[in-house]
Amino acid sequence: MSMGDGDQRVAVWDATFEAMLRVYLPYGGEGPLGADDVLADLGLDSMSVVSLLVDLEAGYGIEFPDELLTAETFDTVGSLWTALSGVTGVRVDDA
């Protein structure tokens, strides 16, 4: 579950994030999620975004700042994790 390719390698997400996210991805399949997986293609719709946001905020004890409440944040698995980890400070190394 690497977040990038080549020199853009960043953290991977934790199991809590993936478990919370999968609830809202009816087309996510059973294989691992990739950082570039487009959330809308996996079934995340606008109503689900709101529910997912509430769950992430409650689960991590944070509040997303308004500037992160954009379509770009909820575009891919990686973009959402990058936003969440930026707010929480959570980093999970794959080493």
What Å distances lie between residue 15 and 19, 42, 54, CA to CA? 6, 18, 18
| Distance in angstroms (rounded) separating the CA atoms of residues 92 and 15 | 10
The domains of the chain are located at 6-88
Residues 35-51 have pLDDT tens digits of 999 999 999 999 999 99
pLDDT at 92: 66
Residue type, 55: D
Give the chain's largest Cα–Cα span: 36
Q: At what angle do helices 77-88 and 15-22 cross, to 10 degrees?
A: 130
Q: Which fold has domain 6-88?
A: 1.10.1200
pLDDT at 31: 87
Block residue for tokens 């509040």: 63
Q: What is the mean pLDDT of residues 54-62?
A: 97
DSSP state of 31: S
